[in-house]
């Protein structure tokens, strides 16, 4: 039973592992969700249909037939370094997604393409089943230019929506929170997007963008807190992972449970992926969210077991973290509601541990992560022993979702690496 209390050390900024007392067997969890699992299949089919258009907009994806996919990579050296005795360790490499270099491409690019196809269909420019590459022509661009896209972001969602939107021809307006890194803003301005800077946090930037969209005709707001399209774009990643595991000959069943570590900001990306994974693997998968010690918004929301929105500020936390993609004080109510009975638990991690793991992953694997994207490793190392207790006699396959970073500027990365190196040598 959920007694509605928080882990006692949470407000001290100490890392914690919180096991979710509300997690249910998959059938019961699905029955309590208001979302239909079939919507995930529809999103998978939509991604297939969008392929030729994606290939036009992002030539990098042509070699893979216009698919927005990332590698699944086994990490034997890291497994050895952290002393894993049994099972496997793999990384899902969304940090290098060819479209926009972060997991936000799954949600953000999907919603932009879906909206573009919807309005083009209403205008009679395309019909069901058409080859959508015709939406990448100058005529289509002129049509999209009469429409505006708005989004609120800490950085990566804005970039994904901005890049896909600008390439289609949309007029794009991105509302950024104070956490957003300058280079993320500059990159959007260079694309031709209008960047509106807010001195406030993510939730307020989203609110401002939502209000601006309400005032304007022919505008569409990509709502990171409430969009089901965004959620389903993320959920479609589950099939991709399932296919990759199968191809690699890695079984997932009661004797070979799958543990997936998902960095969590507002919740859309980890929540969508969790929903998709539960649909594919049922009780054989356990999904673990990871949040910064200063921004455990989903932890407070789920641990208090309430339907009323709660904020980390109410518990003496300041939402200040180097993990800009995870700097969110208040969770998506949609995601809290829909995944409340699906998520296994939530770990929180320190900023220092993110820098340490960003550095290890570069030194050993040449993976160029941003701090948020290193959080799954920090959580596994800190709490794996406790997290894995229910499966301690089984062959666990651990997948760490590395969510962003490949496109960060060299200078930015060098600063994080230098800090990580210092921390490692002082350990
Ligand atoms: C946005 C983001 C996340 C978390 O996704 P949410 O939908 O905000 O929970 C994780 N990692 C990176 C790099 C991100 O940009």
pLDDT tens for each residue of 28-38: 999 999 999 99
Residue-level pLDDT at 177: 86
Q: Is the pLDDT of residue 9 over 90?
A: no
- Pocket lining for ligand 1, CB < 6 angstroms: 102-104, 156, 263-270, 325-326, 370, 372-373, 403-404
Quote the pTM value. 0.97
What is the residue-averaged pLDDT of the chain? 95
Q: Is the pLDDT of residue 292 over 80?
A: yes
For ligand 1, atom 15, the nearest C-alpha belongs to 325
Residue-level pLDDT at 180: 84
State which of 93, 106, 156, 301 you would mutate to test the pocket of ligand 1, scoring each by most atoms of that ligand within 8 A of its C-beta. 156
State which of 206, 334, 404, 406 you would mutate to test the pocket of ligand 1, scoring each by most atoms of that ligand within 8 A of its C-beta. 404
Percent of the chain with pLDDT over 90: 89
Percent of the chain with pLDDT over 70: 100
State which of 372, 373, 376, 412 you would mutate to test the pocket of ligand 1, scoring each by most atoms of that ligand within 8 A of its C-beta. 372
pLDDT band at 131; cut points 50, 70, 90: very high
Kindly give the distance from the C-alpha atom of residue 404 to the centroid of ligand 1, in angstroms, as a whole number: 8
> What distance separates the 2 farthest-apart alpha carbons in the chain?
64
Q: Is the pLDDT of residue 226 over 80?
A: yes
Q: In whole angstroms, what is the distance from residue 151 CA to residue 135 CA?
A: 22
pLDDT 10s digits, 94-130: 999 999 999 999 999 999 999 999 999 999 999 999 9
Report, as an integer, the average pLDDT of 230-247: 98
**Dihedral sign computed on CA atoms, order 111, 347, 332, 297:** negative
The label of the residue with tokens 């960003």 reads: 358
Question: By three-state DSSP, how is residue 141 classified?
Answer: helix
b/e code 76-98 from CB counts within 10 Å (16+ = b)? eebbeeeebeebbbbbbbbbbbb
Kindly give the distance from the C-alpha atom of residue 328 to the centroid of ligand 1, in angstroms, as a whole number: 10
Residue-level pLDDT at 4: 85
Q: In whole angstroms, what is the distance from residue 278 CA to residue 26 CA?
A: 7
The label of the residue with tokens 């040449």 reads: 366
Residue 405 near residue 102, CB atoms below 8 Å: yes
Task: For residue 192, give both structure tokens.
Answer: 């031709």
Q: In whole angstroms, what is the distance from residue 64 CA to residue 96 CA?
A: 14
Kindly give the distance from the C-alpha atom of residue 272 to the centroid of ligand 1, in angstroms, as a whole number: 11
Report, as an integer, the average pLDDT of 378-391: 98
Q: Is the pLDDT of residue 374 over 90?
A: yes
For ligand 1, atom 14, the nearest C-alpha belongs to 325
Q: Is the pLDDT of residue 1 over 80?
A: no
End-to-end CA distance of the chain: 39
Task: For residue 99, give both structure tokens.
Answer: 């479209």
b/e code 27-44 from CB counts within 10 Å (16+ = b)? eebbeebebeeebbbebb
């Amino acid at each position: 039973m959920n007694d509605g209390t928080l882990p006692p050390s949470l407000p001290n900024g100490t890392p914690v592992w919180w096991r979710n007392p509300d997690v249910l067997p998959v059938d019961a969890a699905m029955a309590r969700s208001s979302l239909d699992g079939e919507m995930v299949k529809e999103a998978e089919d939509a991604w297939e249909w969008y392929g030729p258009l994606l290939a036009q907009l992002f030539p990098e994806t042509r070699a893979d037939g216009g698919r927005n996919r990332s590698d699944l990579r086994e990490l034997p050296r890291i497994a050895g370094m952290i002393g894993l005795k049994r099972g496997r360790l793999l990384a899902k490499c969304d940090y290098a997604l060819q479209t926009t270099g972060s997991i936000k491409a799954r949600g953000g690019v999907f919603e932009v393409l879906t909206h573009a196809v919807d309005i083009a269909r209403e205008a009679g420019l395309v019909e069901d089943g058409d080859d959508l590459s015709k939406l990448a022509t100058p005529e289509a661009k002129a049509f999209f230019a009469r429409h505006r896209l708005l989004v609120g972001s800490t950085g990566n969602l804005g970039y994904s929506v901005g890049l896909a939107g600008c390439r289609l021809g949309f007029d794009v307006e991105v509302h950024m929170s104070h956490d957003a890194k300058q280079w993320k803003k500059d990159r959007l301005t260079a694309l031709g997007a209008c960047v509106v800077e807010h001195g406030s946090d993510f939730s307020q930037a989203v609110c401002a963008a939502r209000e601006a969209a309400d005032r304007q005709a022919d505008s569409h707001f990509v709502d990171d807190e409430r969009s089901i399209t965004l959620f389903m774009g993320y959920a479609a990643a589950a099939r991709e992972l399932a296919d990759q595991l199968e191809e690699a000959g890695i079984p997932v069943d009661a004797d070979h449970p799958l543990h997936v570590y998902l960095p969590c900001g507002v919740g859309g990306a980890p929540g969508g992926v969790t929903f998709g994974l539960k649909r594919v693997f049922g009780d054989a998968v356990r999904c673990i969210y990871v949040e910064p010690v200063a921004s455990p918004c989903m932890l407070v929301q789920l641990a208090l077991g309430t339907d009323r929105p709660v904020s980390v500020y109410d518990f003496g936390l300041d939402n200040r973290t180097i993990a800009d993609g995870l700097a969110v004080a208040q969770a998506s109510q949609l995601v809290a509601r829909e995944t409340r009975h699906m998520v296994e638990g939530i770990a929180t991690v320190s900023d220092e541990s993110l820098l340490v793991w960003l550095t290890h992953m570069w030194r050993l694997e040449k993976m160029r992560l941003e701090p948020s994207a290193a959080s799954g490793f920090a959580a596994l190392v800190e709490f794996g022993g406790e997290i894995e207790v229910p499966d301690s006699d089984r062959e666990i396959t651990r997948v760490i979702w590395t969510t962003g970073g490949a496109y960060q500027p060299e200078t930015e990365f060098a600063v994080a690496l230098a800090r990580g190196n210092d921390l490692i040598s002082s350990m």
